[in-house]
Amino acid sequence: MAMTTYVQAINEALREEMERDPLTFVMGEDVVLSAFGATKGLVDRFGPERVRNTPIAEAGFVGAAVGAAMAGTRPICEVEFASFFYCAFDQVCNQAAKLRYMSGGQAKLPITFRCVYGAMGGAAAQHSETVYAQFLSVPGLKIVVPSSPSDVKGLLKSAIRDDNPVIVFEHGALGRQREEIPPGEHLVPLGKAAIKRPGDNITVIAIGAMVPKALRVAEKLAGENISVEVLDPRTLVPLDEEAILRSVEKTNRAIVVDEGHLRGGAASDIAAMIAEKGFDFLDGPVKRVTSLDVPIPFSPPLEKATIADEGRIEAAIREALGA
Amino acid sequence: MDIGKDLLLEMYRAMVRIRLFEGKVRDLATANEIPGFVHVSIGEEASAAGVCAALRKTDRITSTHRGHGHLIAKGGRLAEMMAEIYGKRTGYCKGKGGSMHIVDFNLGILGANGIVGAGLPIATGSALAAVIAKRDDVTVCFFGDGASNEGTFHESLNLAAIWKLPVVYVCENNGFGEFTPMQTVTSVKDIAVRAQAYGIPGYVVDGNDVLEVYRYASEAVARARAGEGPTLLECKTYRWEGHVVGEQAFLGSGAYRTEQEINEWKARCPLVRFQKFAAESGKIDAAELKRIEEETAAELDAAVKFARESPLPAPSEVAEDVYV
Ligand SMILES: Cc1ncc(C[n+]2csc(CCOP(=O)(O)OP(=O)(O)O)c2C)c(N)n1
């Protein structure tokens, strides 16, 4: 089996789904040339009708995706960096998220939004943010955060087939990560967590780019006979509560690791769910390891101090286990 | 309009400072000596220099991701700029902002910005402040052709028009937004015509001719200061370098424009153009220009030395300045 990068996996998913459904199309800024490579070459196969460069006009083309979806197509809309979503908040949160409900179920909004999120080294606050938490409290949106090439392929394909608005957050630092992807049709359902590494002493629930970091820590601690289970929820909405609670029932301890901020963040949301529904399983408080509550700074030592990393994951595990 | 010799030399110095600074930043970014995304404005020096020469120190500007040139023309100090780009504590923003986010309130520089189109409403509000506080300062908003497709452009022009705000919108049309040719994503050939839709004057300006830029800018600034409202200037120009330093690594060369096109624009270099004017007008001799170039080279060397030798911020500084 060939090794596929995260970015190639996205490209494969887009190709396969565009082959499958002629009403799918891709639009966004510079999707024809594709700086990150995710949409590279699609125009050669599918033509400029279905692979559209947009003006720099996020409110406009994100809203156009909403309208195109309501009128029977299946747009795949790229918003480059995740924080550019702020320019299109109304169209995502007031329109895409709500119109099905507010129309009494008449509207169907099969839109897939894709964006790059997270700190990738000196990109500063307006290009480094982890913004999915901002969408977590807007019912009507599904939120997907793939941590590996095979997950991004399978989840993106499911997102495109889903009849709801789905936002897929692709971490900028994962682009060159490689992995073997199962051949043939590879779908990963939305709402199903994955145990990325089984363990007995503690559950580390890690999101997106924090998954490979948690796995490295788990590997290191295995050498000291500390057995860490790494669980990747893969989608934040829907959230696989059952899988998380099952794991915590086994290990009796939980840490949630996220690159987003602490206040109002995904880690806080998941930790609260565990505390509420899994209280009886717990031998200690649920811990949260997140980035600091500051805008992501530019200077490398400051960025490093801000973003959740292996050192802080390890320290949290040791503290929880008294090891 | 007769432009005095001091002002002519000031504009040339601004262009030389931009040209040398940007070349250095490009080289340092290529050598991985500075982190992050770096956008340089080589070839576009005349619009920054000509516009800022028409401003007072108390006037304000907003800028973009490609902002070094605007800041330099407004008086930005190369040392603190370079230190910021290196992420050092001595930089303009204590290392928190970087290349795309340099700010100097003492010079009326409200900031470069990483969000395309974000400066338009901010400049508009800055002009509103002058009205509310009954001051006669003017705000200039620099932005690209790409930004003129954002809603913020259209909302801002309308707002400034109805309130007759003292703001000058300066669109630097370099023909591209990232790797997309302007004409494939823009409904008009000249951004300046969009002014008509908002009932304000709009002019196409040769953005590589610093004297022409200065003349149009002076008039627009005077109108704004006199309470007659906003103007849109479109400076036609070209960026010689890539959208972002290092783009060849993922795009290859020739991905979205030809060598020939780049060379045609290089032949219209704004600095060479000024040198020719200087020689032909007999107003300035070559030795004076040469001295400016040498002084600037020394200033730049000192700036790089300052940046390199400055300390990085300590991790403990990370939470400072989130709130007042
Ligand atoms: C809101 C927003 N959308 C997209 C981007 C990504 N981006 C950065 S620069 C750029 C092109 C800007 O083009 P233009 O305004 O013409 O300025 P130029 O780069 O040509 O100087 C784009 C799309 C961004 N930074 N912000």
Q: Measured between alpha carbons, how far is A56 from B163 in angstroms, rounded to an integer?
A: 27
**DSSP of A227-279:** -EEEEE-SEEES--HHHHHHHHHHHS-EEEEEEEESTT-HHHHHHHHHHHHSG
**Intrachain domains A3-180 and A194-321 with the same fold:** yes
The predicted-structure confidence for B151-195, as pLDDT tens digits, reads as follows: 999 999 999 999 999 999 999 999 999 999 999 999 999 999 999
Tokens linked to A223: 């050498």
CB contact under 8 A, B149 and A53: no
The closest alpha carbon to A282, from A172, A213, A203, A206, belongs to A203
Distance in Å, CA B64 to ligand 1 centroid: 9
Tokens linked to A183: 């051949």
The closest alpha carbon to B76, from B244, B269, B299, B310, belongs to B299
CB contact under 8 A, A56 and B177: yes
Out of B36, B146, B149, the one facing A298 most closely (by C-beta) is B36
Which domains does chain B carry?
5-308 (3.40.50.970)
The predicted-structure confidence for B25-72, as pLDDT tens digits, reads as follows: 999 999 999 999 999 999 999 999 999 999 999 999 999 999 999 999
Is B97 a pocket residue for ligand 1 (Cβ < 6 Å)? Answer: no
Index of the ligand 1 atom closest to the CA of residue B173: 16
CB contact under 8 A, A302 and B185: no
Phi-psi region of B43 (alpha: psi -120 to 50; beta: other; left: phi over 0): left
The predicted-structure confidence for A56-111, as pLDDT tens digits, reads as follows: 999 999 999 999 999 999 999 999 999 999 999 999 999 999 999 999 999 999 99
* CB interface of A with B, residues 49-88, below 8 Å: 53-60, 83-84, 86-87
Report which residue type is found at A221: L
User: How big is the A-B interface in CB pairs under 8 Å?
Assistant: 124
| Cβ neighbours, 10 Å, residue B291 | 12
What pLDDT score does A147 carry? 98
* Whether B101 contacts chain A with CB within 8 A: yes
Residue B221 exposed, middle or buried by CB count within 10 Å (0-12, 13-18, 19+): buried
Identify the CATH number of the domain defined by range A194-321. 3.40.50.920
Q: What is A3-180's CATH topology?
A: Rossmann fold (3.40.50)
Query: Contact at 8 Å (CB) between B138 and B130?
Result: yes
Beta strands B231-236 and B176-177, pairing class: unpaired
Q: Hey, what's the torsion of the CAs at B18, B49, B132, B136, to 10 degrees? A: 140
Query: Contact at 8 Å (CB) between B19 and B33?
Result: no
A125: closest CA of chain B, how far (Å): 8
Q: Is the pLDDT of residue B1 over 80?
A: no
Beta strands A178-180 and B231-236, pairing class: unpaired
CB contact under 8 A, A53 and B37: no
The predicted-structure confidence for B107-163, as pLDDT tens digits, reads as follows: 999 999 999 999 999 999 999 999 999 999 999 999 999 999 999 999 999 999 999
Confidence category of residue A1, pLDDT binned at 50, 70, 90? low
A171 is catalytic: no
A198: closest CA of chain B, how far (Å): 35
* ipTM for this prediction: 0.96
Phi-psi region of B124 (alpha: psi -120 to 50; beta: other; left: phi over 0): alpha
Instruction: Please name the residues in contact with A203: beta carbons below 8 A apart, sequence gap of 6 or more.
Output: A229, A231, A244, A247, A248, A250, A251, A253, A254, A255
* Whether A127 contacts chain B with CB within 8 A: yes
Whole-structure pTM over 0.95, yes or no?
yes
Beta strands B139-144 and B60-62, pairing class: parallel
Tell me the mean pLDDT in the region A305-321: 98
Out of A29, A56, A122, the one facing B117 most closely (by C-beta) is A56
The closest alpha carbon to A83, from A260, A313, A272, A300, belongs to A260
List chain A domain ranges: 3-180, 194-321
The closest alpha carbon to B12, from B54, B57, B45, B56, belongs to B45
What pLDDT score does B37 carry? 96
What pLDDT score does B252 carry? 85
- State the DSSP H helix or E strand holding residue A125, giving kind and residue range, or none if neither: none
CB contact under 8 A, A87 and B36: no
Question: Which residue from A minimizes the CA distance to B318?
Answer: A302
**CA–CA–CA angle A37, A41, A42 (5° rounding):** 105
Q: Name the residue of B39, B40, B65 whose CB sits within 8 Å of the most ligand 1 atoms, as the mutation to test its pocket.
A: B65
Out of B115, B256, B318, the one facing A305 most closely (by C-beta) is B318
Of all residues in chain A, the percent with pLDDT exceeding 70 is 100
- State the DSSP H helix or E strand holding residue A77, giving kind and residue range, or none if neither: strand A74-81
The closest alpha carbon to A91, from A106, A71, A105, A111, belongs to A111
Query: Contact at 8 Å (CB) between B110 and B126?
Result: yes
Confidence category of residue A31, pLDDT binned at 50, 70, 90? very high
